[in-house]
Amino acid sequence: MTEPSQAAISRLRTDYIRLKQDPVPYVTAEPLMSNILEWHYVLKGPEESPYEGGYYHGKLIFPAEYPFKPPSIYMITPSGRFRTNMRLCLSISDHHPETWNPTWCVATILMGLLSFMLEKSPTAGSMVAKDNEKQQLAEESWNFNLKDKTFHVLFPDIVKEIKKKMKEAAKKRKCD
């Protein structure tokens, strides 16, 4: 593992504080305690989208030279939009260092990722699925994420939220 530069450490700490003070809708992110260069995120599927109700876990791997070089972006939870555990090719990722802007922060990266998720533009790491398949994956995302130890450690409030939704869904099924 490459040691992060002081600029990277300082910037990532600042980005974290900003993200906590001014949260981005549908987005949660946490760095690993053991490695500030690896952040995990959860995108909540926006209402009236094929991803509604889903929780999509992924990670950002920042280079030691951040913010002067862009991060790698990965999706861990199946979504029907992005391939899992594969570097995504986006203008905000390390696939396109020529389009990277050092003023972009973690919040900007995650807003861009969510925006791209809601589009249908093809790119390396994207895939095509029908809306009903995406809706099925949104439902399956609950159990998928609950099997992930890192998800439990970094996102305990979301784990509680998912478990509550699972109980409500089970009650609803009993009533139907």
Closest CA to 52 of 172, 167, 165, 170: 165
Could you tell me if residue 111 is left (phi over 0), alpha (psi between -120 and 50 degrees) or otherwise beta?
alpha
Q: Which of 89, 105, 107, 111 is catalytic?
A: 89
Note if 105 is an active site residue: no
DSSP, collapsed to helix, strand or coil, labels residue 131 as helix
Closest CA to 79 of 147, 141, 171, 155: 141
85: how many CB neighbours lie within 10 A of its CB?
Answer: 11
Instruction: Please give the Cα distance from 19 to 169 (Å, whole number).
Output: 31
Instruction: Please give the Cα distance from 12 to 126 (Å, whole number).
Output: 27
The residues carrying an active-site annotation are 89
